[in-house]
Structure 1
Amino acid sequence: MADQGVSPNIITYGTVIKAYCSANRLDQAFAVLEEMQKSTSLHPDEVTYNTLLDGCARYGLFDRGLEVLADMRRAGVPPSNYTLSVIAKLANRSKKPKKAFEMVDTLRKEFGLKLNMHVYNNLIHAATCDSNMMKAQEVFGTMLDERVRPDGRTYTLLLRFCITQKAAVPATALLRTAFGLKHQKEDLVKTGSEDSLHPLLVKALLRSCHWAAAPLRGNSALQEEVIQDTFDFLSRSLDSSGVPKLLADVQKSLPSLKLPKSTTSRIFAKP
C-alpha cells in the first residue's frame, strides 16, 4: 500500500494491531502503534486502545495493560463498557480478581457509566476466581437492581460456582430466577444456613424478576448440561425437600429437560 502511495488510516493500523495481538505478538502490536503516532497525524481511538487492552488481558500482562489504560486517559479517550469489560478480564487473567472491582468502580464513577451485562459477567467471574460467594451474589443482586438482564453465561458462572462451593440455597434461588419463577421470603432467608443469600440479592429477588429469566435458545442460552448438573447437586444436598416441585416447575418451561435416572431417584426418594 505504501509503495503505491496509499496512506493507511486508523482502521488499517487497528487491523494490523489486532492481528499481532491475536498472534501473541504484543511487542510488534505496540511497535505499530508507535509507528503510527510518530509517522502520521493519526491518533489512537477507543477501538485501538481496547484492542491493545484485550491483547494484554488475553496473556495476563497486567502492568502493560495499566500502561495502555493510562495512555488512553492521557489522550482524552473516554472508556466504554467494552473497556470496563476488558479491564475486568485483565485483572482476572492476571490473577488479581480484587483489582477488577476496584478498577471498574473507579472508571464507572469517573465517566458516569452504567454497567452492562458483559461487565457484570466479568465481575461475577472475578468473584468466583476469588472464591468469594457473597461478592458474586452481591454483584448479581446489583445487576438485578439495575434491571440489567442476565444471559446464559451469567447463570452458568453462578450455578457452577454454587456447585463447587456446595451452596444449595443460592443454587436453588438462582435456578428459580433463571426460569422466571417466584420466590418466597421464607425460602430466601434461612436462619443459621451456612450458605445464606446476600441481603442485596434477597431484596432484588423478592421483587418481580420474571424479566431476568435466562434465554433457553440461541448462543446466549443457559445450557441443559448446567441445569442437569445443578439438579444433580441439589439431589445430593441435605435439604432437598423442595427440589421435586422445583424440577416440575422447570420442566414446564423446558419440557425437553431430561435428568439421569440416578438424579431423579435421589430427588424423589427424599421426603
Structure 2
Amino acid sequence: MSEWDCEPDVLTYNVMIKLCARVGRKELIVFVVERIIEKGVKVCMTTMHSLVAAYVGFGDLRTAERIVQAMREKRRDLCKVLRECNGQDLKEKEEVEEEEDAFEDDEGLVYTPRDEVIEEGSEDVFKKLLPNSVNPSDEPPLLPKAFAPDSRIYTTLMKGYMKNGRVADTARMLEAMRRQDDKNSHPDEVTYTTVVSAFVKAGLMDRARQVLAEMARMGVPANRITYNVLLKGYCKQLQIDKAEDLLREMAEDAGIEPDVVSYNIIIDGCILIDDSAGALSFFNEMRTRGIAPTKISYTTLMKAFAMSGQPKLANRVFDEMMRDPRVKVDLIAWNMLVEGYCRLGLIEDAKRVVSRMKENGFHPNVATYGSLANGVSLARKPGEALLLWKEIKERCVVKKREESEGDSSTPMLKPDEGLLDMLADICVRAAFFKKALEIIACMEENGIPPNKTKFKKIYVEMHSRMFTSKHASQARVERRMERKRAAEAFKFWLGLPNSYYGSEWKLGPRED
C-alpha cells in the first residue's frame, strides 16, 4: 500500500483481525488493535464486532466475555484486557506442554500443538505488518473513546454459547439484552433467531415456539430464516404434522412465503418417517406455488424414493432433473440413483447407471463403490465383488502413478472403512481368501484396523470343514490346493491353527 501511496484505514486493520483469526494467530489480535491506536486511525464499532467474532470463532468465550464486560463498563483499556488474556493463555499453554512432555517421556510420542503449525513465511509477513508485536510498548495504549456493546455484539457472543451447547447462557443473555436502557442493545430478529436455534439444537421445541410468540409480542417480526429453523427442528424430531402446520402458519398468519429451503426441509423430514408420498406431495406443492426446485430438491426427492425401495420413480425424478435447464446434475444425484437400485440388490441396473455416469464425465467415488458393494452383498454375487475390487485397486494404483508423473486427471480415490470392510466380508464368506488378504492389506495401508474378530467368526462358522473330494479331477484338485493355500494364509493372519504352526493348539502344561 505504501508503494502506491495508500495509507491503511480502519477497514484495512479490521481485515487484519479477520486474517489473524483465519490463520490461527490469536496472540497477534491485540497488536492489531494497538497498531490502529498508534497510527492514529479512528477505531469504529466494526472493529469491536470483528474482535468479539474472532475470539468466538476461536472458541475462547472467556476472552469474548471479558471484551463485552469491558465495553459495558465503558473501559478504554481494552488492550490491557487482551494482553492479560494472552498472558493467561500462554501460561495455560505452557502447563499443557509440560504435561505433553511428561507424556512423551513415558510413551515415546511426539505432540505438535495446532497453534504451532505456522505456514512457511507467514511469520516474517506478520513481523512486517505488525512491528509492534516484536517490540511491544511497556504500557498498552488506550482506546480514544469507550464503546458500548450493541445487539450485534451480544448476538455474536450468544452464537458462541449456542455452538458450545450453553443454552441457559443464551437465554440469560436474551433476558439481559431486554433490560438494557440503550435501545441499540435490545434484541432484534437475528438475536431472537439465534435463541430459537439454540433451543432447537437442544431439542426444546416448546421453548423455541415461546420465543417466536415473544417476538410477536415485542413487535420484532420473525423472518423466513426463523421459521426455517423451527421447521428443521420439528422434522428432526419426526413431528411432521407440526412442521406442516407451521408451514401454513408461516404463509397465512405471518405473511411470509415459504421458499425452496422451507420445502426442502419438510421433504427431507418426510424421508425420516419413510413417507415418500408425502415428499412427492410437498414437491408438487412447491412447484404449484411457482417455486423452482433446486438441485437439493431433486436429490432429496430421489432419496425419498430410493430409501422406500422405488428406484424407478427415483429414475424418473432424475430424468426430469436432467431436462431442467436451471439445474446441473452432480455426482450426488448419480449416486442416489445407484443407491436406489443397490438397496434392492438390482446390481445390473446399478451397473448400467454407473456406465451412464462415466459416459457423462463423472468418476465413481467412495460412496458409489460403497453402494455397489452393498448391492453385491444383497444380490449374493461375490464374483461382482472381485470385479469391483479390481476397479478400485486399479484406481488407487493409477492415482499413485499419476501423482509420481505429475498428472492429476484421475480424481483421488481413498477407500474408506465401510467400503473395504464390506468387500472383505463378501470375499471371506465366498472363500476368496487371496482377495480378502489383499483388501485387508489395503485397509492396513490406509490406517484402518480390520475387524479380525468378525472375520474369525465368519471363517469358523463357514469354512472350518473345507475339504477336497478324492474323486475330483486333477485340475479341480489343483484349484482346491491353491484355494487351500490361500485359506491357510488367511488362518495365519487370523491367528487360527494352520499348517504353518501345526494343526492344533494345546492349552495344557508343556510336555518335556
TM-score (norm 2): 0.40
Cα 1:145–1:249 shift into 2, 3 Å: farther
Cα 1:255–1:80 shift into 2, 3 Å: same
Conserved 8 A contact 1:152-1:215: yes
Conserved 8 A contact 1:179-1:250: no
- Identity across matched positions, percent: 21
Please give the alpha-carbon distance, in whole angstroms, between the structure 2 residues aligned to 1:176 and 1:223: 11
Q: 2:300 aligned to 157, 160, 166, which one?
A: 157
Conserved 8 A contact 1:177-1:212: no
Q: 2:361 aligned to 255, 260, 265, which one?
A: 255
- Paired position in structure 2 for 1:269: none
- Paired position in structure 1 for 2:338: 228
Q: 2:224 aligned to 81, 84, 88, which one?
A: 81
Query: SS in structure 2 opposite 1:166?
Result: coil
Q: 1:27 aligned to 145, 151, 168, which one?
A: 168
Which AA in structure 1 matches 2:152? I
Cα 1:114–1:139 shift into 2, 3 Å: same
Larger radius of gyration: 2
- Paired position in structure 2 for 1:177: 320
Q: 1:141 aligned to 284, 293, 300, which one?
A: 284
- Paired position in structure 2 for 1:46: 189
Conserved 8 A contact 1:97-1:126: yes
Which AA in structure 2 matches 1:87? L
Q: CA offset at residue 65 of structure 1?
A: 0.5
Please give the alpha-carbon distance, in whole angstroms, between the structure 2 residues aligned to 1:144 and 1:250: 28
Please give the alpha-carbon distance, in whole angstroms, between the structure 2 residues aligned to 1:64 and 1:122: 21
Q: 1:95 aligned to 224, 234, 238, which one?
A: 238
Conserved 8 A contact 2:306-2:341: no
Cα 1:23–1:77 shift into 2, 3 Å: same
The worse-fitting range, judged by mean Cα deviation, of 19-28 and 154-163 is 154-163
Q: CA offset at residue 177 of structure 1?
A: 1.9
TM-score (norm 1): 0.72
Q: CA offset at residue 107 of structure 1?
A: 1.6
Query: SS in structure 2 opposite 1:179?
Result: helix
Q: 1:37 aligned to 162, 174, 178, which one?
A: 178
Q: CA offset at residue 231 of structure 1?
A: 4.7
Please give the alpha-carbon distance, in whole angstroms, between the structure 2 residues aligned to 1:106 and 1:17: 28
Q: CA offset at residue 103 of structure 1?
A: 0.9
Please give the alpha-carbon distance, in whole angstroms, between the structure 2 residues aligned to 1:19 and 1:60: 18
Please give the alpha-carbon distance, in whole angstroms, between the structure 2 residues aligned to 1:172 and 1:106: 34
Cα 1:250–1:139 shift into 2, 3 Å: farther
Number of residue equivalences? 227
Question: Which of structures 1 and 2 has the larger relative contact order (alpha carbons within 8 angstroms, sep 6+)?
Answer: 1
Q: CA offset at residue 250 of structure 1?
A: 6.3
Please give the alpha-carbon distance, in whole angstroms, between the structure 2 residues aligned to 1:257 and 1:228: 13
Deviation string, structure 1 residues 83-123 (Cα, Å, up to 9, x no partner):
22111112123332221111121121123322212111111
Q: CA offset at residue 29 of structure 1?
A: 0.6
Please give the alpha-carbon distance, in whole angstroms, between the structure 2 residues aligned to 1:112 and 1:147: 17
Q: Which residues of structure 2 form unaligned runs of 5+? A: 1-70, 76-145, 380-512
Cα 1:137–1:177 shift into 2, 3 Å: same
Which AA in structure 2 matches 1:2? R
Q: CA offset at residue 149 of structure 1?
A: 3.2
Query: SS in structure 1 opposite 2:274?
Result: coil
Deviation string, structure 1 residues 134-174 (Cα, Å, up to 9, x no partner):
11001111222334333343333322222221123421221
Please give the alpha-carbon distance, in whole angstroms, between the structure 1 residues aligned to 2:355 and 2:255: 43
Q: 2:255 aligned to 109, 112, 126, which one?
A: 112
Please give the alpha-carbon distance, in whole angstroms, between the structure 1 residues aligned to 2:358 and 2:260: 26
Q: Which residues of structure 1 form unaligned runs of 5+? A: 181-209, 267-271
Conserved 8 A contact 2:311-2:337: no
Which AA in structure 1 matches 2:170? A
Please give the alpha-carbon distance, in whole angstroms, between the structure 1 residues aligned to 2:251 and 2:329: 27
Conserved 8 A contact 1:128-1:136: yes
1:204-223 correspondence runs (5 A): 210-211=324-325, 213-216=327-330, 222=332
Cα 1:176–1:231 shift into 2, 3 Å: farther
Which AA in structure 2 matches 1:131? D
Please give the alpha-carbon distance, in whole angstroms, between the structure 2 residues aligned to 1:235 and 1:104: 37
Which AA in structure 1 matches 2:265? N
Please give the alpha-carbon distance, in whole angstroms, between the structure 2 residues aligned to 1:30 and 1:103: 23
Please give the alpha-carbon distance, in whole angstroms, between the structure 1 residues aligned to 2:258 and 2:171: 29
Q: CA offset at residue 235 of structure 1?
A: 7.3
Q: CA offset at residue 212 of structure 1?
A: 5.3
Please give the alpha-carbon distance, in whole angstroms, between the structure 2 residues aligned to 1:125 and 1:80: 21
Q: CA offset at residue 234 of structure 1?
A: 7.5
Please give the alpha-carbon distance, in whole angstroms, between the structure 2 residues aligned to 1:63 and 1:94: 12
Q: CA offset at residue 23 of structure 1?
A: 0.9
Conserved 8 A contact 1:124-1:157: yes
